[in-house]
A and B are shown apart, each in its own frame.
Chain A
């Protein structure tokens, strides 16, 4: 049985932009993974390149194949089809212990019978590193993650955040070319998560090691990564810088998974005019497809006087307002379409108030649903 590797998204996603440092640390070429006795591929035709020194996030909901992708880079899984390259070298068939990669596991995977110092020193055991150098590198690594003084503790004597930092020290100590992180902050509470995000980002800048970071938290991915790939159903829907992915989503999935958005069904007629239900939309470019969706971010919808003069202006009625503290969400009905907009939290609008809404042509982003285009 051959896996389904035809990629409807592949045509939409242009090849990765020209590298920044020019040296790729990880390259996946047409990688698919089909587990035995399953019909659908866990990972389908994934192609991506991670540059040296990058903080790269793999973002997607659970079951999107992001962890499987990570495990294929680490060497715990072998791709059914495709090729994994590390620093230009084909490692597809190499076991994990022959790859210059270290992983921070979701449950940290610290060795329970070893003290913190021995856990951190473990990778050096297998690289001829002298005793004195091992000791100095262990204390340096523990210092980097703020765990000096915990050398003699056993893992079960540490809190979740502390274990996390020890796992990080263990991943960094052999100075690998690449560190993989599998939802490393998933088990931590919100406050700690935020401080750990800062620490991770700072650490990555300091050591200059490439990070590939798996997460299902879009906020985390946007905040931390230099570039990210959005995955869904085993496929990469879009790869790019956080702002690019946020403002110029390519698929309906990316548009709706990252942040909130208004997705409206639209169609283009022969003259190039675009209509979405009762709305005549003006877009910055004429789309190639005839049937598509348009994504309009709530924050790009202008209200009242601000809306005047925008490429798209319509009369609407406020249907509902939701107070969120720092801002207020408005649900506005515009000729049959319901749109989500944002206003300052001190703006008070009663439901039923007529209001002028508008947005620039660039705010309309044409997105497609690859599942609908698939044969």
Chain B
């Protein structure tokens, strides 16, 4: 009886989970499938496999320019956000200052603010100080919501670090900057890379802030959005599929890095070493005999 009931429950659970996943991934799959469909209109049945939409994409000058522009925006805003985020994280973790809570809250605001509010306030600020919309404004806009994310990721990593490592470095004669360069930075390097990957996808996919702050040249998502207004071409399916694929790869990579995977087993326990093998003491005995 119970086994039947529990089997019914577990199959219900499986079905429920499946429905959720279908909802989440069906649009992605549909888009990807239709990007290879040999037809101008998006209807079933599938009328044949083609890569013509991808070829169109490759030959579309506007699309290529938008893509390049998006890359430039993402690269610069991530580089700036990573620097700013790391510096802020170090300040919050290391420097004894009053009002740390206020400071960290103030940094988070741009990341949690609705995109439109952030975009409008930035736009107004730029107009006030006389910066016309364009590359600079988009980069600043993106940086303002990527930097807090980088900061929190690095801050949580810094808090895991063994403080005795930095002390050991200073003990060995390295000043604060050298200690940061030789010891702290290598210890947080993986987190910084992961945060940059995450920031890159965030910048690359962003529409709201970008839309308000862009000048003549649109980024890729904004350009695609403009295309949509004039009708749906399968070329859009192709570009969405590409964006989705690249984003997924970057996000998975970032997740793997952040989940604690390290090139070397960085968190190997140092405080509870394994019991020594007898061979170990022999090494010692040998050196003992060697020295007079």
B183 at the interface (CB under 8 A from A): yes
A20 at the interface (CB under 8 A from B): no
A159-B270 contact in complex given A96-B171, A146-B286, A174-B173, C-beta closer than 8 Å? no
A126-B270 contact in complex given A112-B187, A146-B287, A191-B281, C-beta closer than 8 Å? no
A107-B271 contact in complex given A101-B171, A126-B178, C-beta closer than 8 Å? yes
Residues of A within 8 A of B280 (CB): 159, 161-162, 192
User: CB distance A187 to B174 under 8 Å?
Assistant: no
A152 at the interface (CB under 8 A from B): no
A102-B171 contact in complex given A160-B274, A160-B276, C-beta closer than 8 Å? yes
Binding stretch for chain A, among B41-49, B69-77, B160-168: B160-168
Residues of B within 8 A of A108 (CB): 270
B128 at the interface (CB under 8 A from A): no
B266 at the interface (CB under 8 A from A): yes
Chain B residue with Cβ nearest A112: B266
* Shortest CB distance A185–B (Å): 12
A188-B264 contact in complex given A146-B286, A202-B291, C-beta closer than 8 Å? no
- In the complex, what distance in Å separates the CA atom of A163 from the CA atom of B167? 17
B114 at the interface (CB under 8 A from A): no
Residues of A within 8 A of B186 (CB): 111, 113
Interface string of A153-186 (1 = CB under 8 A from B): 0111001111100000010001000000000000
Chain A residue with Cβ nearest B278: A191
User: CB distance B270 to A96 under 8 Å?
Assistant: no
Residues of B within 8 A of A170 (CB): 172
- In the complex, what distance in Å separates the CA atom of A160 from the CA atom of B274? 7
User: CB distance A112 to B164 under 8 Å?
Assistant: no
- In the complex, what distance in Å separates the CA atom of A188 from the CA atom of B281? 12
Count chain A residues whose beta carbon lies closer than 8 angstroms to a beta carbon of B. Answer: 47
User: CB distance A95 to B170 under 8 Å?
Assistant: yes
User: CB distance B167 to A109 under 8 Å?
Assistant: yes
Residues of A within 8 A of B276 (CB): 159-161, 188-189, 191-192
User: CB distance A74 to B270 under 8 Å?
Assistant: no
Residues of B within 8 A of A163 (CB): 270, 273
B265 at the interface (CB under 8 A from A): yes
A155-B268 contact in complex given A107-B162, A188-B273, A202-B291, C-beta closer than 8 Å? yes
- In the complex, what distance in Å separates the CA atom of A154 from the CA atom of B262? 14
Chain A residue with Cβ nearest B263: A113
A103-B284 contact in complex given A110-B270, A123-B173, C-beta closer than 8 Å? no
User: CB distance A76 to B167 under 8 Å?
Assistant: yes
- In the complex, what distance in Å separates the CA atom of A283 from the CA atom of B77? 83
* Shortest CB distance B283–A (Å): 5
Most buried by A among B170, B266, B286: B170
A23 at the interface (CB under 8 A from B): no
Residues of B within 8 A of A161 (CB): 273, 276, 280
Interface string of A92-136 (1 = CB under 8 A from B): 000111000111011111111100000000110111000000000
Chain A residue with Cβ nearest B167: A76
- In the complex, what distance in Å separates the CA atom of A143 from the CA atom of B284? 11
Chain B residue with Cβ nearest A160: B273
* Shortest CB distance B60–A (Å): 45
A372 at the interface (CB under 8 A from B): no
* Shortest CB distance A37–B (Å): 13
Chain A residue with Cβ nearest B265: A156
Residues of B within 8 A of A355 (CB): none
Residues of A within 8 A of B136 (CB): none
- In the complex, what distance in Å separates the CA atom of A290 from the CA atom of B174? 56
Chain A residue with Cβ nearest B272: A187
A2 at the interface (CB under 8 A from B): no
B21 at the interface (CB under 8 A from A): no
Most buried by B among A97, A155, A162, A195: A97
A206 at the interface (CB under 8 A from B): yes
A199-B284 contact in complex given A97-B170, A111-B183, A170-B172, C-beta closer than 8 Å? yes
30 contacts between A and B (CB under 8 A): A97-B172, A97-B173, A103-B168, A105-B168, A106-B164, A109-B167, A111-B182, A112-B268, A113-B187, A113-B266, A122-B169, A122-B174, A122-B182, A126-B173, A126-B175, A127-B173, A143-B287, A146-B286, A146-B287, A159-B274, A161-B273, A161-B280, A163-B270, A187-B271, A188-B273, A192-B276, A199-B284, A199-B287, A202-B291, A206-B291
> Hey, which bits of chain A sit against chain B, CB under 8 A?
74-76, 95-97, 101-103, 105-113, 122-123, 125-127, 143, 145-146, 154-156, 159-163, 170, 174, 187-189, 191-192, 195-196, 198-199, 202, 206
Task: Give the top 7 A-B pairs by smallest Cβ distance, nearest first.
Answer: A160-B273, A156-B268, A146-B287, A109-B168, A123-B172, A126-B173, A109-B164
